[in-house]
């Protein structure tokens, strides 16, 4: 039996993968940990590897979790890496994010100030139901500030240039966080937003199943 390790998005948990169904695969969930002071993303990814207990795992990462999957894939052998609503190199970051990182604008805004723009955040996330809104707001309410400040900085200043050869990218053409204009995905979900893993789960699930079938005899 092959093992799938899932890494959720910024501050989220395994509930984001609640609609996944992959018979014949054992699914595990990697949990976010508190970053150490001035820790870089490579070191953080290395510490997350301690939660992986099988050789050549399949990694599935959502949003920031996809970026972490790329970093893990640079440090251990993986069978497959599948990223969803994410990016695989710094060139796919939106221009405003790269500029924010260069100018260190994220350090000028305290985390609590993000509460003032929640409606805009909800819009950009592509929230489509009260259930999704409640879930996302629950994540925001309970997020650790040390982790959140570190993660935002890690995203804005990510420098990766090379994607692993065994990586597949699933992206929505309506994603407002990571615009598809800068991205060349392997699978495109029509009208898929950043939360398509929840509100277009059947289509995302089929893309992942297609990838797994393609490599089932490898």
Domain boundaries, the chain: 2-214
Q: Give, for all 218 residues of the chain, the pLDDT tens digit.
A: 799 999 999 999 999 999 888 889 999 999 999 999 999 999 999 999 999 999 999 999 999 999 999 999 999 999 999 999 999 999 999 887 877 767 666 665 555 555 555 777 777 788 888 998 898 889 888 889 899 999 999 999 999 999 999 999 999 999 999 999 999 999 999 999 999 999 999 999 999 999 999 998 65
Handedness of CA 29, 32, 33, 35 (dihedral sign): positive
pLDDT, tens digit (0-9, with 9 covering 90-100), for 145-191:
899 999 999 999 999 999 999 999 999 999 999 999 999 999 999 99
User: Residue 9, SS3?
Assistant: coil
Fold of 2-214: Rossmann fold (3.40.50)
- Phi-psi label, residue 158: left if phi above 0, alpha if psi -120 to 50, beta otherwise: beta
- The mean pLDDT of the chain is 91
CA-derived radius of gyration, the chain: 16
Residues 6+ apart with CB under 8 A from 94: 177, 178, 179, 182
């Amino acid at each position: 039996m092959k093992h799938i390790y899932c890494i959720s998005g910024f501050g989220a948990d395994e509930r984001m993968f609640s609609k996944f169904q992959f018979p014949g695969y054992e699914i595990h969930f990697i949990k976010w940990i508190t970053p150490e002071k001035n820790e870089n993303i490579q070191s953080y990814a290395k510490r997350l590897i301690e939660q992986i207990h099988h050789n050549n795992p399949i990694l599935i990462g959502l949003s920031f979790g996809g970026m972490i999957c790329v970093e893990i894939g640079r440090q251990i052998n993986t069978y497959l890496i599948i990223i969803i609503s994410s990016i695989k190199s710094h060139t796919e970051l939106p221009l405003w994010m790269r500029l924010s990182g260069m100018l260190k604008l994220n350090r000028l805004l305290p985390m609590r100030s993000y509460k003032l723009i929640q409606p805009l955040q909800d819009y950009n996330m592509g929230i489509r139901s009260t259930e999704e809104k409640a879930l996302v707001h629950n994540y925001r309410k309970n997020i650790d500030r040390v982790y959140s400040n570190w993660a935002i900085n890690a995203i804005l200043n990510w420098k990766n240039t090379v994607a692993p050869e065994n990586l597949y990218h699933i992206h929505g053409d309506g994603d407002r966080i990571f615009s598809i204009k800068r991205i060349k995905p392997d699978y495109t979900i029509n009208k898929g937003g950043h939360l398509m893993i929840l509100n277009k789960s059947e289509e995302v699930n089929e893309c992942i199943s297609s990838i797994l079938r393609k490599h089932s005899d490898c």
